[in-house]
Amino acid sequence: MELLKQRILKDGIVIGKDVLKVDSFLNHCIDVSLSLEMGKEFKRLFSNCTVNKILTVEASGIGLACSTAQFFNCNVVYAKKSATRNCTDDAYTSPCHSFTHGNDNILRVSKRYLGKGDKVLIVDDFLANGCAVNALTDIVKQAGAEVVGVAIAIEKGFQGGGDALRSQGIKVESLAIIDEMNEQGIRFRD
């Protein structure tokens, strides 16, 4: 998606070879009009798919998930993060290592909000090594629901998570795939 790529080139900040800060438009500060354009593009890319629920993870995925949900006319469920498996709710859980924060979390979704027959589009702002998406996919399977696809704003292609999902036959659509980056520049996949 050219609009997103241009915005990354304009406002993204590359730190080292693997950190891209997009705080100024995608998380922390959210450009809602861009977020809606991304949601519309996801609807186009998944136009032949039946989706009745969008699943993301707190906190940075929520804005994009809500924008996307408008075009699919469906609800958003967001997985909560906690440091431990301790929880009072009856919930599906799956472990996840955060690349950004360098810590381990348990993702948790109440069993009330995901179940058999749900056709789930997973939405997130970033896809790197795929740990968050793998944990969400695991949760969807535990619920007996179906992952229709994975919709990502920015995929760090060089970390391999997206291609590993594709090789499992999962439909992954990322609006910008970065194959290489450093402080001198960013190379997008064609």
Binding site for its own copies (CB under 8 A): 23-24, 28-33, 35-36, 58-59, 62-63, 66-67, 69-70, 73-78, 80, 109-110, 112-113
Assess contact for 126 and 152: CB atoms under 8 A.
yes
| Shortest Å, Cβ 56 to its own copies | 10
Here the tokens at position 45 are 């890319």
Burial of 80 (0-12, 13-18, 19+ CB in 10 A): middle
| Shortest Å, Cβ 136 to its own copies | 14
Residue 148, C-beta contacts closer than 8 angstroms, at least 6 positions apart: 46, 49, 50, 51, 119, 120, 121, 171
Nearer to its own copies among residue 20 and residue 177 (C-beta): 20
Assess contact for 93 and 139: CB atoms under 8 A.
yes
Nearer to its own copies among residue 25 and residue 174 (C-beta): 25
Here the tokens at position 23 are 């705080």
Nearer to its own copies among residue 35 and residue 94 (C-beta): 35
Report the C-alpha gap between 127 and 75 in whole angstroms.
22
> Tokens 């795929």 identify what position?
130
- Furthest C-alpha separation in the chain: 49
| Shortest Å, Cβ 53 to its own copies | 9
Nearer to its own copies among residue 114 and residue 176 (C-beta): 114
Report the C-alpha gap between 14 and 183 in whole angstroms.
5
| Shortest Å, Cβ 32 to its own copies | 4
| Shortest Å, Cβ 179 to its own copies | 28
Nearer to its own copies among residue 33 and residue 182 (C-beta): 33
| Shortest Å, Cβ 46 to its own copies | 16
Nearer to its own copies among residue 39 and residue 157 (C-beta): 39
